[in-house]
Chain A
Amino acid sequence: MTSWLRAFAVAQVALFSSTAFAQFADGPTEKVEKKPESRSWTVTKDGFSMSYLFVPGIPDPNQVTEIVIVASAVPKTPHPRYGSRVPLENARIALEITNPAGEVVGSFVAHELPLTSGKYGVHFTAQQEGIYSIRLKGKTADGKDIRSDVKLPVAVWPLPKELQGSGDAEGARTARRVIRKPVGK
């Protein structure tokens, strides 16, 4: 009876130790974060600010990605209504997309989204793993050229250091301070 118990105890210890040490077999496991549902990136250049929102944040090959671009002009003096970001309405915008192999996939027209101001959207299905390059080319309603570059990582996770964060975060909307005159003067 005791020998049977001893055998059982040894088996239990062996089982526990094998499971307990198995997790250290390849060193301590790293905690990998889940892919984000969306990812944003802002580029401010030549008096324009382009904020890109990618949904899903890190697409897989053959998964459609919705790219929403918030296009705005950065005025030298704050706009009385919009502050430091004036929505670009009626601009003509296209995204020239290059795959990780360096081949241009095509130019995709971004359409102004209904009931929005300065928001443009486009769908794109990437077919390869890797980092796609997106070059935004466009013209404002008054004929000024808009250019900006952004990367689209496809099935690349975790992101390389240069693609972490949200680009040029500077310039969150800051409205012009309302100057109130004292009543009666």
Chain B
Amino acid sequence: MKVSKLFLAFGVLFTTHATASDDIRTFVGDPLNGKKLYDKECAACHGKNGDGGRTSVSLTDSGRMNLIRDDQMFSMIQVGRGLKKPGDHSFTKKLKFLEIWDVIAHVREGHMTIGDFFPTASRYVSKTYEIDKFGLDRIKERAGVTLKDKKAAVFTFFTFEGEEGNLQYIPQDPIKLDHLSKDKKSGYLVFLPFEHAGFSGELGVAMDPDGQITKLLVHRGAKNADLLNKDLSRFEGMGKKNQAEPFKVGGGKKMDAVAKKVFPVFMRAMETVTMYDREENERTWADPN
């Protein structure tokens, strides 16, 4: 009886969690069944929470995990495609077709997904960039931070009329990239490490093409995530490319402390985006405006 009540309570939590945001959450499989299967087949190597375990291959790193598309992850689980030792990661005999999708749905619950940030975009490209010396100097000068990890993945989104919400990945193919004109660009997204008031995880920084923050989010499954996301939402509309001044939001010392932590992360995201822009300019310099 107690157990069923507990499940019921969990069910209510799950459903409110699912409808907490106005938009309906999409799952590629059944995350609840996926968790059972994950615990049985995957947790021994990747850790119970997907934080790496004995393989130290973390499944909660949003920047890295979003570079892997669902269909790629399916092949990785099914036959180990793309991995160094495919035979060691072949679950074709242990997991059925729909069960693999359930595991993927569960793994996707462990990190932020790109759909959380640009729900109406139609295309996206993604690539990891390394901030150059000039960018590092600017971060040090304006935010007072010396970066050790200079790399981060940039996701760039484009919206085509009549195809809103039908998000498709565009590979790094010059011909396909040629269709992504700057005027269709809806923004950028970068996932970076973030620590504040007991929270330690990733911050998703979404910006419009001018560098203005459209969304700042931490993973909804994290401790105190709702409260922190509420504070982070106050930064929406701030920021621009070549931002030099720290953020100023009202709300007293509490918000000043948040702003102090957010600004270096924003600067790092902006400099990584600058690397994308440079590559895009080299690619499109001859395009007619």
Contacts and interface: CB of A to CB of B under 8 A. Distances in A.
Interface in B82-123: 97-99, 101-102
A111 to B, nearest CB: 6
Nearest to A109: B28
Interface stretch (B13-21, B196-204, B271-279): B13-21
Contacts of A114: 97
A106 B32 CA distance: 12
Interface residues of B, number: 24
Contacts, number: 75
Interface stretch (B2-10, B125-133, B231-239, B257-265): B2-10
Contact of B27 (A64, A101, A109): A109
Given A104-B24, A107-B25, A123 B99 contact: yes
Nearest to B33: A64
A interface residue count range (under 10 / 10 to 19 / 20 to 34 / 35 or more): 20 to 34
A114 B15 CA distance: 31
Interface of A: 61-62, 64, 66, 94, 96, 99, 101, 103-109, 111, 113-114, 121-125, 127-128
Given A99-B15, A106-B24, A127-B15, 19 more contacts: A61-B4, A61-B8, A61-B11, A64-B32, A66-B98, A103-B15, A103-B19, A104-B18, A105-B14, A106-B27, A107-B27, A108-B30, A109-B29, A111-B101, A121-B98, A122-B30, A123-B99, A123-B101, A124-B30
28 contacts: A61-B11, A62-B7, A64-B32, A94-B26, A101-B15, A103-B15, A103-B19, A105-B15, A106-B18, A107-B24, A108-B27, A108-B29, A108-B30, A109-B27, A109-B101, A111-B28, A111-B101, A114-B97, A122-B29, A123-B99, A123-B102, A124-B30, A125-B32, A127-B7, A127-B10, A127-B11, A127-B32, A128-B11
Interface of B: 4, 7-8, 10-11, 14-16, 18-19, 24-30, 32-33, 97-99, 101-102
